[in-house]
Amino acid sequence: MTEPQRSKNTGLRENQVIVTAKRALGMNKFYVAIAIVIGLGVLLFLNPTYANFSQHTNSSTNSTIGGLVISTQTGASSLGLPLLAVPFTVLPMLMLTTPMVILFVYDKNNGVLEYLISLGMTQRDIYERYLEASLLVAVSYLLIFGALNLLYSFVHFGTIYLPIMLMILGIGALIALSTVAFIITMMMIFSSLQKARNGGNQPLAITVGLVGVFPGYFIPFLFPFNTAMAVEIVQGVIIAAVSLILLLMSSRLIKREKFLP
């Protein structure tokens, strides 16, 4: 094989992930539109809560008891309400991952995966192709809307609230990417999660991923901010650890028949 041919083949392999991502997003633009709407909602409605939280946290009332000055923070600062932005950052990831899951099932049912195997690709190769495409879409979304949130905060409030925003966006990114990897991994390994729910049009893997994100809607109302932040970090680490374990075990768990129609 000549050097130009070798370079061309390498380029084709590198572009497979981008092609897969474009195919998935092009199959159903409805999920993409919903993800964008949710992202704009977080930007316009939840972003100001960072500033409100900081204002409440910095305000306090002092009372004197037995000669001692007691500082009491307002009730609003005792809740982790700004962390409500975390699950609403992860929710668009579920929307963007759904077309990827649907594409995988579509390719399997139409013999595309069988064809790729006949070309010499292994089950692991095919698995990584869809996983990397999903993570590429997720990272692109997080970078775009994360930058917009930081820019919005800087324009309206200056730099004083950026540390809180960076923490919240970081936790959201951790849980979002971990959830995407978990969904794709579970779908690849367990063929039962490739089947649509009764009355639904997406495989069960999406529902399984939603279960892992669901606690995030209650944690901000149950714990103070620092505790809620720690709980959500642990939540993200657990999902990431499970995804990594499944990834390492994927070569043994992914079976040949699960890539057949």
Residue 5: predicted pLDDT: 46
Q: Are 39 and 104 in contact (CB under 8 A)?
A: no
* Per-residue model confidence as pLDDT tens digits over 109-150: 888 888 888 888 877 788 888 889 999 999 999 999 999 988
Q: What pLDDT shows up at residue 48?
A: 62
Among candidate residues 178, 170, 211, the one with its CA nearest the CA of residue 85:
170
Check residue 103 and give its pLDDT.
87
Give the list of residues 6+ apart from residue 103 with CB closer than 8 angstroms, or none. 20, 23, 24, 27, 130
In b/e form, how buried is each residue of 175-195, taking b as 16+ CB within 10 angstroms?
Answer: bbbbbbbbbbbbbbbbbebbe
**Greatest mean pLDDT range, 5-14, 200-209, 211-220, 225-234:** 225-234
State how far the Cα of 120 lies from the Cα of 124, in Å rounded to an integer: 11
Q: Is the pLDDT of residue 220 over 70?
A: yes
The mean pLDDT value for 24-31 works out to 86
Looking at per-residue pLDDT, the higher value among 235 and 123 belongs to 235
194 vs 91, which has greater pLDDT?
91
Query: Measured between alpha carbons, how far is 178 from 226 in angstroms, rounded to an integer?
Result: 22
Give me the residue spans of the domains in the chain.
Answer: 3-259
pTM: predicted TM-score of the whole model, two decimal places:
0.79
User: Among 99-108, 181-190, 193-202, which is the least confidently predicted range?
Assistant: 193-202
114 contacts 259 by C-beta, under 8 angstroms: yes
Residue 59: phi and psi, rounded to 5, are -90, 145
Return d(Cα 49, Cα 45) in angstroms, integer: 8
d(CA 93, CA 135): 9
